Every structure is written in C-alpha cells, then in structure tokens.
Amino acid sequence: MSVLLQTSKCIFRKPFNNTFCKYVFLRKNSDVPKKFITFDEVVAQRRAEAMRSVVVQVNSDSSFNELYGYCSKYASIKDIHHYKNSGGEHFMVIEFASEDNLKDVLKSCSSHNKDHDVISVQSPFLWFRAAVGNKEKFAATGKKLAVKNGTEICNEDVLLEDILNCETVSDQIQLLYEKTTLNDLSIRLRYIVARQLEMIFNSLYTNVKIQPFGSSVNGFGRMGCDLDLVLMNSITEEMGAASRRLVFQEKRSARQLELAGALLELRVAGVARLTRILNARVPIVKYAHEYAGLHCDLCYNNSAAVHMSELLWQLGELCARARALAVLVRRWAAATGLTQPHPGRWLTNFPLTLMVLFFLQRTGLLPSLNRLVSEAGKEDIRIAEENVNCTFLRDLNKLPADSYEQNDDDLQTLLFKFFEFYSQFDFQEKAISINEGKPIRKPNSLPLYIVNPLEQSLNVSRNVSYEECERLRLEVRNAAWHLESCLDGKKSDDWGILGLIEKKSSRGLKKLLRVGNSHRLVSMKDLFSDNDNEPSVEGIRSKMQKFV
Ligand code: CTP
Ligand code: MG
C-alpha cells in the first residue's frame, strides 16, 4: 500500500514502511504552476521565527512538561523542538507566538548575578534550573504541542542499507537527498545562533545585522554542514538620507573582525575554540558553538556572498532536481577525496555546485544567469561592497516558463549525463560560466576555470592544481563507467549510487569480507583492535589472514 504526496514538481509515492520511495516527475505543463516565493521572504520569515525563539538546556527530554508549564506562565508557545548536542546534552527550542512574548520571557530570566566575574548579557540561549522544592514544579496545562525531534545526522549504516533497498538509482538519489538535507530544526537553530550574535553586537553598534549564508541557506546544505555568517551594516536608505543633518561621528576601521572575535570569545555563551584568520582575501573568525553543535565562520561586510547564496537558492527553486543531484555529487566528491574537509589545492563544494548548475543549464533545465539579469527590473538592483553588481531577477514568477525545466530526464539519467558531460569537457581550453550557460574560452592557463558568477573576472577554482583537475577528469570517467555497469539491473552491494558515495577504503573492506571470507563468519570485533580508529584495508587484510 502506498500514499501519494503531490508536490508542484513531482509525485512521491511512499510505501508505509518507509524504507524507500518511488517518484515520478510530472511534465511541468501538466502540473499546477508553482508559485515561487522570494529568498528575501524566506529569510524574513526565518529571522522573525528566530526573534521569537529561545534554546533552553534541560536535564533530559522528560523536562518538557515542566518547562512547557513554566514558560506558558509568561507567554504563549507556538512550536517546540528537542535536540541533543554532540556532548549528549539536551536542548529545547521554543518558538513563542510573538516577539513581545519572547521579551516577557527574557525579562523573567535570572543570571549568575552573585558571581562577580560574570556580567550577564541577553541571549536566546538559556538553561532551565531544577525547581526548589515540589511546590514550585509546574505541570503543563491545556493544549500541548508535540515535541519535534532532531538535529542528528542520519546513521550512516542505516542510510546505506536503505539506499541498497531502493528499486531504482533515481530512488536512491532522492532518498539520499531527503535523509541528509538540512531539516527545519537545523535551519531554525542556525538563525537563532545568528540572532544571538546580533543581540550582543547591537549593544555596541547602531545598525548591525548577522545573516547566515552559504550552504545553510542556499538549499544545498546537508545536516551538520558548517554555518557561514556575515556581520553587515543594516543602515536603511532612510537612515542614510542626506536630509538628516545630524550625523554620528564614526570611527573607520578595517579591523572590525578583531573586535568581533574578542566579543565572541569573551561575551558569547556557547562559543569555543575560536581562531582568527585575518590575512585571507575574505578574513574570517572561526569558532564552535557548543550548545548548537555547529562550526561557524564569521566574516564582515560580504553581502556579495549572501547574494550568491540567493542565486543558488533561486536556481534550486526553479529545478528541484538540481538540489538532489548536487547533494549526490557533493557526497561523491567527498568519497573520492576530490573535496577535503580542510582547504588546499583541491575542489570545494561551492565550485562543484556551480558545475552541477552549469550542466543543468546545458540540458535545458535551468536558465543562464544572463537570462535572469536581462529579466531584472529596478526593484532587483543590488550593489554589494566594492561595487559588485548583484542584480538579477528576484521574483521567479516573472520568468517565462519556457526558460527552465525543459527536460523530463529522471535523476538517474541526469546523473549519468553529468558524469559523461564532464568526462568529455575540454578543461584545457574552456571555462565553466553559469552567466553564459555555455562553455567560454579560458582567459588564462589555470587548470580549472569556473567563472565567479557575480565577479566575472574571478575564478572560484583558482586554487585547484593540475593534478587535482586530472583526478577530477579520471573520477568523472570512473563514475560514468560505474553507472553504466549498473544498467544490467543486477544488484551488487555497490549497486547504483552506493559505488559512488561509499569511501573507497570501506568499499575495499566490504569486498574483502565478501571475497576472502565466504566460508567462515568473522566478527568485526576480531578485526579491529581497540586502538584502531580508522583501520586501513591493508591492516584488515593482514588480520584476516589469521581467519581465512
Ligand atoms: N562564496 C563565494 N565565492 C567563493 C567562495 C564562496 O561567493 N569563491 C560564497 C558562496 O555563497 C558559498 C559561501 O560563500 O556558498 C560559503 O562558502 P563555502 O562555505 O566554501 O561553501 P558552501 O556552499 O557553504 O558549502 P559547504 O557546505 O562546503 O560549507
Ligand atoms: Mg559553508
């Protein structure tokens, strides 16, 4: 038995046991036209949500009733979520009905005001003290909201097993996307972390705004991805108007991030392991947020990066397949080692995503950026710092329907075509440009050239070495071969995307266990000694000699 969930672009047919999903893409014209909302509307809604939310540390998830009852005394609760951080500590995210409600709750909070070395600041991160005596305990009354769970990353073994059980490669790609994409609670938390900084910085600056950008908001983020934040001046046109004759005397300094770093280190609860990288092209302060369980990068006045996130988000809105495909390609690149967790002479996720979008432009699924620029009106004009022109159409409802989604290929076909396209791409002579939506002549001899869509004189992959570019060419060929070999329909344990997203070392290990040990069962414990954190295939092979 199955249920049909119809979205604007496709039908998801989910079996009730939920182990896998089947879906069929509908032709755009046979579907109800999608009503697009703008990125600014999504951001405004998320910011408003954060402005009426708190994160409360509690003893356990069973503290819910008491916390609910206590908070209901001060304000009306709209929504409530629960999560655990990596240290196993429990937190409740409570969204109140209004910002005023939140203000009332914050007014009722106490601080460590008896400790001389703690000066309290208002922040949305709180903890719920155990009640003094039974009489102070509160029970929830009236209508209760269910607690929604989770910021945890899906268990890898369960995920791979579910992917193995899918019927088609397209189902596998869709499942990977659904199980690993950032969920609602993770996005909420990211905006609350931004709001926490904003509250603290607002006590120093007149008009400051902290905005999440990058994969946290561009629609291509996976659970657990880093949080990119930008500290921006939020002066409105009215405030900057020449008719206002009294003007603040202001201190100019290019070193605002130094102060931000110090503030974070000294005043912001939850911040740990802060480092400053101030001599980079885009200086950043990196830190861990222990309560939210996030790694954050904060930069200063970089609104072009926010508009870049907006652009990526818009292209993902135009074609839902772009997101699922990009998530898979990012996983594949990490598994093959084409991308690494630390920076270096290799690809990163952002240029890789541009490669996916460029390919989709070539297949008629997405318009070129030039097209979005030519459709832009006065209301779309945005000029970022250093005069970077970030003008392009914001209201996608104005885009002619024949400029996107002109192709019914399923995800499996698109994935195969993606690898085939890049295995034939002339990296030596051509650059990738999502502005043009077609390959252009390379302006220099750097091994990989991907035009920065908003600053076209820049190459977003200028760090990539010749060797890494060669490896990219080799890996796309391998991936295309692998997918071709799956066409016979036989399901081995690296069937479909499993052969693309499992790390090579663990794939080797699996094969070894299958081939070398068919006549005898060996416990995994026998193979791993206590100090083997990440055993190599060679290590396991030598241990297996004892058993085979
Ligand atoms: N960015 C940019 N130009 C670059 C690199 C990055 O404009 N040369 C912007 C993009 O908007 C990008 C964001 O900065 O999305 C954050 O960069 P990064 O963290 O490297 O990429 P993410 O897209 O956030 O991916 P990840 O999940 O790997 O963090
Ligand atoms: Mg990022």
Question: Which two tokens mark 113?
Answer: 């005001």
Contact 282, 189 (CB under 8 A): no
What's residue 33's pLDDT?
73
Nearest to 388 by CA among 302, 279, 300, 280: 302
pLDDT for residue 23: 40
The residue ranking higher by pLDDT, 546 or 313, is: 313
d(CA 392, CA 222): 26
Q: What is the CA radius of gyration of the chain?
A: 26
Ligand 1 pocket: which of 218, 228, 286 to mutate (most atoms within 8 A of CB) = 228
DSSP codes joined into one string, 414-429: HHHHHHHHHHS--TTT
**Over residues 215-227, mean pLDDT:** 96
Model pLDDT for residues 389-447, shown as the tens digit of each residue: 999 999 999 999 998 988 899 999 999 999 999 999 999 999 999 999 999 999 999 99
- Per the model's pLDDT, the better-predicted residue between 13 and 164 turns out to be 164
Q: What is the pLDDT of residue 542?
A: 54
Query: For residues 81 and 188, is the Cβ–Cβ distance under 8 A?
Result: yes
pLDDT, the chain, mean = 84
Average of per-residue pLDDT across 162-171: 94
The closest-lying atom of ligand 1 relative to the alpha carbon of residue 460 is: 8
Nearest atom in ligand 1 to the alpha carbon of residue 222 is 27
- Looking only at the bridges linking them, the beta strands covering 10-15 and 284-289 are unpaired
pLDDT of residue 91: 94
Determine which of 97-101, 154-158, 533-537 has the lowest per-residue pLDDT on average. Answer: 533-537
Burial of residue 248, with CB atoms counted within 10 A of its CB: 0-12 exposed, 13-18 middle, 19 or more buried: exposed
Q: What is the pLDDT of residue 261?
A: 94
Report d(CA 218, CA 73) in Å as an integer.
38
Query: Would you state the pLDDT for residue 8?
Result: 38
Protein residues with CB under 6 Å of any ligand 1 atom:
213-215, 218, 221, 225-226, 228, 305, 308-309, 348-350, 452, 460
Q: What digits encode the pLDDT tens for the residues 480-500? A: 999 999 877 777 888 999 999
Read off the tokens for 228.
């990119």
> Among all ligands shown, which has an atom nearest to the Cα of 222?
1
Ligand 1 atom closest to the Cα of residue 218 is 15
Q: What are phi and psi of 299, to 5 degrees?
A: -125, 180
Centroid of ligand 2 to alpha carbon of 435 (angstroms): 22
Concatenate the DSSP letters of all residues of 155-183 into one string: PHHHHHHHHHT-SSHHHHHHHHHHHHB--
Is residue 102 predicted with pLDDT exceeding 70? Answer: yes
- Whether the predicted model's global pTM rises above the 0.80 cut: yes
Best CA proximity match to 323, nearest among 363, 375, 366, 294: 366
Q: How far apart are CA 172 and CA 170, in angstroms?
A: 5
Exposure string for 268-291, b = 16+ CB within 10 A, e = fewer: bbbbeebebeeeeeebbbebebbb
Ligand 1, atom 19, lies closest to the CA of 214
pLDDT value, residue 478: 97
The amino acid at 286: K
Tell me which of 40 and 520 has the higher pLDDT. 40
Q: Which helix (H) or strand (E) holds 96?
A: strand 90-96
pLDDT of residue 240: 72
Output the residue whose Cα is nearest ligand 1's atom 8.
460
CA of 246 to the centre of ligand 1 (A): 39
The pLDDT value given to residue 238? 73
CA 220–ligand 2 middle distance (angstroms):
10
- What would the mean pLDDT of 152-178 be, rounded to a whole number? 93
* pLDDT over threshold 80, residue 544: no
Nearest-atom number in ligand 1 for the CA of 226 is 29
- For residues 166 and 436, give the distance between their C-alpha atoms in angstroms, rounded to a whole number: 37
Atom of ligand 1 nearest to the CA of 339: 28
Q: How far apart (Å, rounded) are the C-alpha atoms in residues 268 and 231?
A: 15
HEC string for 260-310? HHHHHHHHCCCEEEEEEECCCCCCEEEEEECCCCEEEEEEECCHHHHHHHH
In this structure, are residues 210 and 230 in contact, taking their beta carbons and an 8 Å threshold? yes
User: What are the structure tokens assigned to 206, written together?
Assistant: 């007149």
pLDDT at residue 510 in the model: 54
- Report yes or no: 23 and 170 within 8 Å, Cβ to Cβ: yes
Out of 153, 229, 307, 350, give the residue to mutate to test ligand 1, the one with the largest number of ligand atoms within 8 Å of its CB. Answer: 350
d(CA 195, CA 441): 44
State the Cα–Cα distance between residues 97 and 49, nearest whole angstrom.
9
- pLDDT tens digit sequence for 6-64: 333 443 333 333 333 334 343 444 456 779 999 999 999 999 999 999 999 999 877 88
Distance between first and last Cα of the chain: 45
**HEC secondary structure over 449-504:** CEECCCCCCCECCCCCCHHHHHHHHHHHHHHHHHHHHHHHCCCCCCCCCHHHHCCH
Of 201-210, 328-337, 529-538, highest mean pLDDT: 328-337
Helix, strand, coil content of the chain in percent (nearest 5):
40, 15, 45
2-16, 135-149, 197-211, 367-381 — most confident range: 367-381
Please tell me which residue, 338 or 61, carries the higher pLDDT value. Answer: 338
Question: What's the whole-number mean pLDDT along residues 178-187?
Answer: 95
Return the structure tokens found at 161.
């097993």
Lateral strand order in the sheet of 208-213: 208-213, 227-233, 294-300, 284-289, 271-277
How far from 433 is each of 254, 256, 418, 456, CA to CA, in Å? 32, 34, 16, 9
From the CA of 454, the nearest ligand is 1
Quote the distance between the C-alpha of residue 541 and its chain's center.
37
Cα distances (Å, whole numbers) of residue 141 to 42, 72, 144: 33, 9, 7
Among 18-27, 466-475, 537-546, whose mean pLDDT is lowest? 18-27
Task: Calculate how far, in angstroms, residue 44's C-alpha sits from the geometric centre of ligand 2.
Answer: 21
ipTM of the complex: 0.98
Atom of ligand 1 nearest to the CA of 308: 11
Identify the residue whose tokens are 């302006």.
443
Range with lowest mean pLDDT among 33-47, 74-88, 512-526: 512-526
Cα 212 from Cα 118, distance rounded (Å): 29
Counting ligands in written order, the one closest to the CA of 351 is 1
Question: pLDDT by residue (tens digit) across 115-131?
Answer: 666 666 789 999 998 77
Contact 225, 215 (CB under 8 A): yes
- 246 contacts: CB under 8 Å, gap ≥ 6: none
